[in-house]
Copies of this chain bind each other. A is one copy, B any other.
Amino acid sequence: MPKAVILLSGGLDSATCLAMARSQGYDCYALSFDYGQRHTCELQAAKDIAKTIGVEKHIIVNIDLRLWGGSALTDDIEVPDVNKNFNEIPVTYVPARNLIFLSFAIGWSEVLEARDIFIGVNSVDYSCYPDCRPQFIDAFRNAARLGTKADDEGWEFNIHAPLQYLTKSEIIQTGIELGVDYSMTITCYNPDDNGLACGKCDSCYLRQKGFSDAKIPDPTRYQK
């Protein structure tokens, strides 16, 4: 079975992405980050999801992005309620996050001799983050080839972004077909200490709309 490294945040998208990689026959190596995010409870979700869906190994890397902050997720900036415009980069954007995450994934892949990396980015129902767009993923793929042994050896990394053009509703339907238990996933940017979702942020809004559009009951546990 070919090996793949899967970026697993503990959210709805990355859980679906892991299930898709598994269903395609990959031996999965899950990679999560404790980066100083407001919503660290997503890491327990990531562990539970990795265990349930099944991975060869799950590594959580510690990187302190609070060193410079600059985001509502890693700094003393309030998470705003959804504005539903999604036409500008919001304060929840974490500078260079996917650039950093993908770079670590490339390092681990090179050591594993894996050529496939899965990332659950989406550019349909999303928060307008630049590092979720297909142009970025394609440019990163090229940089990764040139900055590793791949180019000398005549191959390249496949950066799979299977959710890229799906609506949130389609992502949920795909995951349900693959048996993903979405009650285990944490999407909210601002959950409470018990992991209960706020129901008000961009991420909660997109998730709620996804379940509603898919006509599937939303299993998320919300704050009262």
Contacts and interface: CB of A to CB of B under 8 A. Distances in A.
A136 B149 CA distance: 12
A198 interface: no
Interface string A158-171: 00000000000000
Interface stretch (A44-52, A67-75, A213-221): A67-75
Interface string A122-143: 0000000011010110011011
A140 B104 CA distance: 15
A151 interface: yes
A179 interface: no
Contact of A131 (B61, B102, B148): B148
A106 B111 contact: no
Contacts of A61: 63-64, 67
B62 A64 contact: yes
B142 A139 contact: yes
A147 B140 contact: yes
Contact of A130 (B97, B135, B147): B147
Nearest to A132: B147
Interface string A78-95: 000000000011000111
A142 B61 CA distance: 26
Contacts of A136: 143, 146-147
B107 A68 contact: yes
Nearest to A100: B103
